[in-house]
Copies of this chain bind each other. A is one copy, B any other.
Amino acid sequence: MPSPEAIKVWARLMRVSRQLMERAEDALKEGGLPPLAWYDVLHELAEAGEAGLRPFQLIERTLFAQYNISRLLARLEAGGLVEKLPVADDGRGQTIRVTATGRETRRRMWAVYGRSIADLVGAKLSTVELNTVSAMLGRLRDPPVDH
């Protein structure tokens, strides 16, 4: 039912992304660093700065499920990489903020992760090609759900 071209894109997309992800994970593991999932969260939190982010905001920004974020944050807190602060105007909520240790860990992860990206993607395509791929992948993103 899908065209052969669509099938090929799907197959390569799934295969390449898994393969590259695995490679990046391996590089981190080899460096004794935490998994990629931690990076994603630390990255968002680092961008958010002192204000921090609510867990539900992390869910919006990343693709993690709610229960996944909940437990990931518990692990990050246990590791001293983030801290949970109560929220003034919402007794249910909490604000998550990176600690200095968290920032440092993120920095060390980026040294490895960034190199992986450079090697696995940057070195394989020209700038023009990279922009083309970005544009086309952008077209595959979810159309914003209306409601």
- List the interface of chain A (C-beta within 8 A of B): 1-3, 5-10, 12-22, 63, 111, 114-115, 117-118, 120-122, 124-125, 127, 129-134, 136-142
Measured between beta carbons, the chain B residues less than 8 angstroms from A132 are: 132, 136
Picked from B10, B14, B118, the residue with its CB within 8 Å of the CB of A6 is B118
Measured between beta carbons, the chain B residues less than 8 angstroms from A6 are: 117-118, 121-122, 130
A17 touches B14 (CB 8 A): yes
Measured between beta carbons, the chain B residues less than 8 angstroms from A130 are: 3, 5-6, 8-9
CA separation between A129 and B15, bound complex, in Å? 19
A13 touches B22 (CB 8 A): no
A20 touches B133 (CB 8 A): no
Chain B, residue nearest A12 (CB)? B137
B13 touches A16 (CB 8 A): yes
A113 CB to nearest B CB, Å: 9
CA separation between A117 and B6, bound complex, in Å? 7
List 5 additional contacts besides A2-B121, A3-B130; criterion CB under 8 Å. A6-B117, A6-B130, A12-B138, A16-B141, A20-B140
A127 touches B9 (CB 8 A): no
